[in-house]
Amino acid sequence: MQTPEDICADFPEWPDWWCGVKEDIRYGQGLIDAMRPFVVHLMSRGLKEKTIRNHMDNLWLLGGEIIRSVSTFDEYGIPPEENLWRSIDEEGGPYCHHLHSEAHQTSYDATCRNCTSF
């Protein structure tokens, strides 16, 4: 069986990319730990690698938005997994500063919705 790193080799490095301040790295690692079971679930469903990669791209955006919020509002006391689940719902995810088309927004929200049902 493949691992998330087989599809996205830099998956473990995402916290370094999300980092604005030192505290973000550890918090980001907690987000990766919370996201990993969802990615493994997608892989177990036999989805094409391109589809899983698309979901992972959206998770990368989601993690960045969560870190932005945590850092801005000094919410490091909220556990990363809890913050992840608070950030997504049946309508999608939090506002993403990096989406510039309706198609990308739709894809991002679909990933967030799928994550809630996992």
| pLDDT tens readout for residues 30-41 | 999 999 999 999
Q: What angle do CA 66, 53, 115 make, to 5 degrees?
A: 50
Q: Is residue 81 part of a domain?
A: yes
Instruction: Check residue 67 and give its pLDDT.
Output: 97
Task: Give the CA-trace dihedral at 50, 55, 61, 67, to 10 degrees.
Answer: -130
Residue 67 contacts residue 18 (beta carbons within 8 Å)? yes
* Number of folded domains that form the chain: 1
Is 5 contained in some domain? Answer: no
Classify residue 90: in a domain, yes or no. yes
Could you tell me if residue 1 is inside a domain?
A: no
What pLDDT sits at residue 80? 97
Residue 4 resides in a domain: no
Supply the pLDDT for residue 1: 57
pLDDT confidence of residue 2: 87
pLDDT per residue over 60-97, tens digit each?
Answer: 999 999 999 999 999 999 999 999 999 999 999 999 99
Range of the domain at 97: 10-116
Residue 107 CB-density burial (10 A; 0-12 exposed, 13-18 middle, 19+ buried): middle
